[in-house]
Structure 1
Amino acid sequence: MPVVLSLQDAHKRYGHQVLLDGAACALTDDQKVGLIGRNGAGKSTLCRILLGDEDLDAGDVVRSKKLRLGYLRQHDPFRDGETGMEFLQRDSGQPDWKCGQVAWRFALGDDMLLRPVRELSGGWQTRVKLAALLLHDPNLLILDEPTNFLDLRTQILLEHFLKDFKAGVLVVSHDRSFLGATCNHTLELTRGSLTMFPGDVESYLTNLEERREHDRRLNTATATKRKQLEQFIASNRANANTASQARSKAKQLEKLEMIEVAGEEARVHFSFPAVEARKGPAMRAENLTIGYEDRDIASDIQLEIEHGERVGIVGDNGQGKTTFLRTICESLPVKEGQMKWGFGCQLGVYAQHVYTTLRPDQSVLEYLEYQATPGTTTQQIKTIAGSFLFSGETAEKKIKVLSGGERARLVLAGLLLEKHNVLVLDEPGNHLDVETVEALAEALKRYVGTVIFTSHDRHFMHEVATSVIEVGGGRVVAYPSSYDDYVYRIGKEIDAGLRVAPGVKAKDAAADDSSNSPKPGGKADRDAQKRLKAVERRIAKLDDEKKQLNEELTKAATDVDKIKKLQTQLAEIVDECETLEAEWLELSEATGAW
């Protein structure tokens, strides 16, 4: 296992923040390594340094002559009007048969490869970029948060790819399930140092906790010994007969040192305020239709959510999960039917765009004090702030200078200080590190209120969800089994699709009923094809608008009014994209393009 990339005595700092302090690591061409560390520890900076996109202050990055480095590009590498196949051929220089062969590993058939790639959803574009990555035959991959915003199907395909990949991988992720499924080594970045552990993330965290407990026991024994020595010295140093013994004990005392407990700063403890446990239905939907003015997303919804349930909302991207959450939060009106909350239900809502409404002149602590339930102590507020990486000077920062990620974490922290008996959470684990996500999961498990949430983090879903609601195909239904069973079902569907020969649609192999599809060449089919093209053009245009808005947000710096306006526009575009992607999927199936 030759080393192809290494870091030696690396130093890197931003202002007073030390990210690397004499750090070292070695990456081979056969290890699959999961990189973990607290938010702000410098994981993304480390990736940029290894890729050569950023320089060290001191130290060396040593690259083997045999290194063929690949990385999953976060930016858009596609040209206007370029199809997936054209991009793969241009990017790799490989013939079409080879590109098609590799693309099939990501369930990319001709129906996807022959479409303009910018008209595909974000998840499908990620699959195209992964195929391009593999075509370059790299012997070391660097992937920074590759599962962000990927639905379950694309995550599982990415897992298959990494498991079968016969070379080295460095993956940055907060998703413990993904790391556990793909990585056999764990690299932790903490306090400027890198520590390699020969095992997966679960084994590493178990070992870390055992080492912490061992160090705590040693510190307890050391503290007892110090107290004994101090008492002896105090009692005997003034006595001429025992003064020499006291001096000897003083030297022993000087040698006693407390051990710095490994990873102690990463321990997070927080809880939601206590609420009264209740029984019976918390929410009931009857003959409910959800959607937008010009389109239904799902209809004939019959649901009942009991008090105390923790309901995970699942389904492919673009199928209406956010639309459903917005409807039950009453930020989107019901189209038909009824949706009622039980008497006394008090909703607390976390949504990705909520932070755009924060007052820019407030500090972090002022916001949390305002949100807190009466009677909450200052120490409790500071503890919650620290849990979300707001401590010391950071806790005194004004909201106007916080990044988007920091504002999102602040809103989530504020929820912990309010008194709600129903929580509706849209991707609450985003922007949090592995241990903080775990602490959030534990807090939600102790919470006796009702939780309705969606997350791309499978470990978080597995830990928190006691029941599952599936959104897709124009339906919203209570899933009849557990979240683990849902993951298993999706995995089997993907395996079945990948076993179908290239060029044969998986739905055809399964002999799906196509009697409801428009007749090929008929008027309905022509209308559907026309509408499909229109939707694709609109999605492509919205993607361009999103890129433009993100660029403007980066340039806006501390212009609070402009930032708020841009973030509101971005949230509206995201909502419209989700609606259009759901329509695109339906039209693709109806016209046989899927």
Structure 2
Amino acid sequence: MLNISNVEIMRGVKVLLSEASACIFPKHRAGLVGRNGSGKSTLFSLITGEILPDKGEISVPRDWTIAAVAQETPGLDQSAFDYVLDGDKRYRELEQQIKIATESNDGMRLAALQEKFEESGAYTINSRAGALLLGLGFAMEDFQKPVKDFSGGWRMRLNLAQALLCPSDLLLLDEPTNHLDLDTVMWLEDWLKGYQGTLLIISHDRDFLDNICTEIIHIDNQKLVTYAGNYSQFESERAQKIALETAMLEKQQKKLQHMQSFVERFRYKATKAKQAQSRLKAIEKMEKIVVAQADSPFSFSFARGDSLPDTLVRMENVEAGYGRTVILSDIKLNLRPGSRIGLLGRNGVGKSTFIKTLAGEIPPLSGSLSISKGVKIGYFAQHQLDYLDPDGTPLSLLTRLAPDKRELELRSYLGGFGFGGDKALEQVKSFSGGEKSRLALALIVWQKPNLLLLDEPTNHLDLQMREAIVIALADFEGALIVVSHDRHLLRTTTDEFYLASEGRVRPFDGDLDSYHEYLTELDRKKREVLLKEKELKKHEKIQNPGIKSREQKRQDAEKRQILRPLKQEVSKLENEMNLLNAEKEEIEKALSDNTIYEESQKENLKTMLARQADNQRKLEETEMTWLEKSQELENMQKELEIS
């Protein structure tokens, strides 16, 4: 098991952990929670051995392999697929050792390495890496793109794929959902449920913690406190603990006051001096009860606005997109005061395009978009964080919006968002992503919007700030449209869902569980539809063999001509795979014969093992190429509408 014993961690003069202890047993799934800056990520660094504790010790079983997500990704020319394969260091080591043994013609060494190679599951590594990339939202055409071509968020997904690919006994995930959309979060959740090792997660997504974790480790008052169950159970148990500790503290305070009163009255009287001294020593030895802090440092609310018209926004037959590229069409929406809409849809289907069109960031390509008089839009998007003046401070940025307000009032307001005291005077360029998000929200809320458009507002925010947003939105009287991967936020702040899919935005009849089922079934249904379409076209050809015009026949011939080289390539690859599989069976049969391991057959064994390694490499490469070309052919057939 992973054992943390009386650990102390200092950061400068600040104590993060003091006499902190916890045990994490094999195959347990623990969520590590606590306020920002409490030492969660630092504890991960201790476990991986990057840093050492100031006091105490952390012991990890020697035979455990630890996998963690790298926090930085250099701009490499290496392909995304090869970069993910690097996550399995044992595979790369065996691959290199086999290469050396093959070049040196060391048959016995090669035989031993081949056995280890097979035991490690290396023969399935390409398919596992491909499945991870697809699950994390990459398209097959992305596999061979260089890492440097991906944005920061997509590079973090590559780092996550590396960690998941690595065969590990302990998996450390630090905010794994930050750069993911809702669909990918749900996929990751399902993947982690099947993980066989020990799992330790830092996350501010309470639904994610609820669905994955079997215990919660809370950093509280510089200690590690373990609670059985998921996050909701932790919250409930902790609330009871706080209530009990508060009652105990009140009782202790009364006892202390009584004892202190006795001491002050009688400490200088000879007849009572001994009793007074005894009580004084008891007071000094009494263990002070420290009540866990339940109150969030964040507190804000949306101001009540003026009365609003019955319809805030009306969209009729709107097309949305960029330039001549239409992303969404036939959008119809009547947005009324009190509307609370969660916008669902897979990555890249147009959710942000829809929000930007409503916000006036991009004009509609066609149709009618009318916003009623008096509507004040508050729009939050991740890219807006880049427009915060890096040299400004929370106080200076808010003063620009409210030059007539007193500094005391502005400081009091900023304190509700965690920018109290000197923090209000720090420059934005020194802020973390979470602090920038809080500041952007503070500036939006100050402007008293009555229509909120929120595109992933909780990225980088901790649980306390997320809960403050939920509470504030509960009393918000205007209209709300939100895109988020935070299911708790969606469940508690929206009362209807819309789905962006196949170029449309339509009401979604169901909840988030229904949406999960919808995603799970979507690919299967698409395959069924394609098969039915092909069967129908074949049937039509049989029933009406001669109805096509000369022009139609000419067009079909042209389409077949376009497809012919790709079909031939796929067929050629299938033949190569058949030959390689036949060779594989032949080699395996030869190696199963015990006589080949005799001294007289040493050279034959070396040759056979070298053939096996070469065969496996070629087979994997051919299978991957066949998969890519088959997908390309299917896409082209669909585009040209040829069965």
Within the candidate set 126, 139, 162, 1:99 is matched to: 126
Q: Is the 8 A contact 2:32 2:218 kept in 1?
A: yes
**1:279-313 CA distance string (max 9 Å, x none):** 62221111111111141111111112221122222
Deviation at 1:190, TM superposition (A): 3.5
Give 1:188-587 correspondences, 5 Å limit: 188-223=218-253, 247=276, 251=280, 259-264=289-294, 266=296, 268-276=298-306, 278=308, 280-368=310-398, 370-371=400-401, 378=408, 381-382=411-412, 384-493=413-522, 497=524, 507-509=526-528, 511=530, 522=559
CA distance in 2, matches of 1:443, 1:453: 14
Deviation at 1:427, TM superposition (A): 1.5
**Secondary structure of 1:413's partner?**
helix
Letter in 1 for 2:423: T
Q: 1:137 to 1:521 in 2, by over 3 A?
A: farther
**Secondary structure of 1:353's partner?**
helix
Deviation at 1:509, TM superposition (A): 4.0
Letter in 2 for 1:365: L
Matched with 1:168 is 198
Matched with 1:153 is 183
CA distance in 1, matches of 2:152, 2:269: 82
Q: Is the 8 A contact 1:89 1:99 kept in 2?
A: no
Q: 1:381 to 1:111 in 2, by over 3 A?
A: closer
CA distance in 2, matches of 1:363, 1:239: 57
Q: 1:346 to 1:167 in 2, by over 3 A?
A: same
Q: 1:465 to 1:61 in 2, by over 3 A?
A: same
Letter in 2 for 1:326: K
Q: 1:254 to 1:29 in 2, by over 3 A?
A: closer
Q: 1:53 to 1:249 in 2, by over 3 A?
A: closer
Q: 1:233 to 1:418 in 2, by over 3 A?
A: farther
**1:27-83 CA distance string (max 9 Å, x none):** 332111111111222222222332233444444332311111112345448964637
Provide structure 2 residue ranges, at least 5 long, that are not aligned to the other structure. Answer: 96-120, 538-554, 567-630
Q: Is the 8 A contact 2:437 2:461 kept in 1?
A: no
Q: Is the 8 A contact 2:267 2:273 kept in 1?
A: no
Letter in 2 for 1:399: V
Deviation at 1:95, TM superposition (A): 4.5
Q: Is the 8 A contact 2:453 2:480 kept in 1?
A: yes
Letter in 2 for 1:460: L
Provide TM-score, normalisation by structure 1.
0.74
**Secondary structure of 1:430's partner?**
coil
Letter in 1 for 2:453: V
Q: 1:419 to 1:28 in 2, by over 3 A?
A: same
Q: Is the 8 A contact 2:399 2:410 kept in 1?
A: no
Larger Rg belongs to: 2
Q: 1:485 to 1:387 in 2, by over 3 A?
A: farther
**Secondary structure of 1:522's partner?**
helix
Q: Is the 8 A contact 1:85 1:113 kept in 2?
A: no
Matched with 2:79 is 82
Matched with 1:43 is 40
Q: 1:316 to 1:69 in 2, by over 3 A?
A: same
**Secondary structure of 1:174's partner?**
coil
CA distance in 1, matches of 2:123, 2:390: 53
Provide TM-score, normalisation by structure 2.
0.69
Deviation at 1:202, TM superposition (A): 0.9
CA distance in 2, matches of 1:325, 1:431: 21
Deviation at 1:228, TM superposition (A): 6.5
Give 1:19-168 correspondences, 5 Å limit: 19-76=16-73, 80=77, 82=79, 84=81, 88=85, 91=88, 92=91, 95-100=122-127, 103-104=130-131, 112=140, 115-116=143-144, 118=146, 133=163, 135-168=165-198
Q: Is the 8 A contact 2:417 2:442 kept in 1?
A: yes
Deviation at 1:170, TM superposition (A): 0.7
CA distance in 2, matches of 1:276, 1:230: 56
Letter in 1 for 2:32: L
Matched with 1:543 is none
**1:408-456 CA distance string (max 9 Å, x none):** 3211123333322122222211221112212211211111111222111
Q: Is the 8 A contact 1:123 1:151 kept in 2?
A: no
Q: 1:523 to 1:72 in 2, by over 3 A?
A: farther
Letter in 1 for 2:430: V
Q: 1:216 to 1:80 in 2, by over 3 A?
A: same
Please identify, of 293-302 and 67-76, the stretch whose mean Cα deviation from structure 2 is larger.
67-76
Provide structure 1 residue ranges, at least 5 long, that are not aligned to the other structure. Answer: 498-505, 530-585
- Name whichever structure is richer in helix by fraction: 2
Q: 1:206 to 1:492 in 2, by over 3 A?
A: farther
Matched with 2:540 is none
CA distance in 2, matches of 1:169, 1:73: 16
CA distance in 2, matches of 1:170, 1:231: 50
Q: 1:462 to 1:488 in 2, by over 3 A?
A: farther
**Secondary structure of 1:262's partner?**
coil
Q: Is the 8 A contact 2:83 2:162 kept in 1?
A: no
CA distance in 2, matches of 1:174, 1:332: 32
Q: 1:135 to 1:440 in 2, by over 3 A?
A: closer
1:591 equivalent in alignment to 2:636: yes
Q: Is the 8 A contact 1:277 1:308 kept in 2?
A: no
Letter in 1 for 2:10: R
Please identify, of 69-78 and 190-199, the stretch whose mean Cα deviation from structure 2 is larger.
69-78
Q: CA RMSD in A?
A: 4.3
**1:254-288 CA distance string (max 9 Å, x none):** 77786322134645433222334646222111111
Q: Is the 8 A contact 2:173 2:201 kept in 1?
A: yes
Letter in 1 for 2:45: R
Letter in 1 for 2:477: V
Letter in 1 for 2:527: D
Q: 1:7 to 1:420 in 2, by over 3 A?
A: same
